[in-house]
Amino acid sequence: MAILNILEFPDSRLRTIAKPVAVVDDKVRQLVDDMFETMYEAPGIGLAATQVNVHQRVVVMDLSEDRTEPLVFINPEFESLTQEMGQYQEGCLSVPDFYENVDRPQHVKIKALDRDGKPFEMIAEGLLAVCIQHECDHLNGKLFVDYLSSLKRDRIKKKLEKKHRQQA
């Protein structure tokens, strides 16, 4: 296993639309393992392959406190099951140290492949629903800051650019 480099906003590679995984093989399973190790180390609760500069439709998540409930979504698709929206304070490993409220549907149905390539479906609500939508956004080149006003988004961009310049 390996810790992968997480891209940070405003890196343009985060805007790449991920391609579907054709075959779930050992290479994809290795990516999944590396993504979990990277996510746990960060630490975070979700990670999309786009964030580690791999442009395949792969997401890993673990919402448990003790890292005992790993979830893998390969080629995930979701649909909203309600018009009811919920506002959650979202953060992102690619937008470090910034948290903002985002409105998202409260209940979604997810279809994906698991780590072994087997199809599954699940209904998600609350934090799980928010997280899967957030990570699927990454696969489509979208970030949670895109839901914010241009003023807030520009402020975050400038602060992160300054941080990157200071680290260079």
Give the pLDDT confidence score for residue 140 in this predicted structure: 98
Residues 70-87, mean pLDDT to the nearest whole number: 95
pLDDT at 81: 94
Contact 81, 123 (CB under 8 A): yes
Confidence of residue 70 (pLDDT cuts 50, 70, 90): very high
What residues are labeled active site? Answer: 135
Token code pair at residue 33: 């393992």
pLDDT for the residue numbered 24:
98
- Mean pLDDT, residues 82-92 taken together: 93
Tokens 């949670």: give the residue: 144
Average pLDDT over residues 137-166: 94
- State residue 5's pLDDT score: 97
Do 107 and 84 form a contact (C-beta atoms < 8 A)? yes
User: In the block, which residue shows the tokens 């961009």?
Assistant: 157
Say whether pLDDT at 117 is over 80.
Answer: yes
Please write down the long-range contacts of 58-65, taking CB distance under 8 Å and 24 or more positions apart.
Answer: 58/18, 58/21, 58/28, 58/31, 58/32, 59/112, 59/132, 59/135, 59/136, 59/138, 59/139, 60/32, 60/35, 60/36, 61/128, 61/131, 61/132, 61/135, 62/36, 63/127, 63/128, 63/131
Please give the pLDDT value at position 32: 98
Give residue 1's pLDDT: 76
Question: Is the confidence at residue 164, as pLDDT, over 90?
Answer: no
pLDDT surpasses 90 at 168: no
Q: Mean pLDDT, to the nearest integer, of 30-48?
A: 98
- Predicted confidence band at 148 (pLDDT cuts at 50, 70, 90)? very high
Residue 79 has φ and ψ, to the nearest 5°, of: -135, 145
Contact 116, 24 (CB under 8 A): yes
Residue 140 and residue 41: Cα distance in Å, rounded?
24
Domains of the chain (ranges; CATH) run: 12-167 (3.90.45.10)
Whole-angstrom Cα Rg for the chain: 16
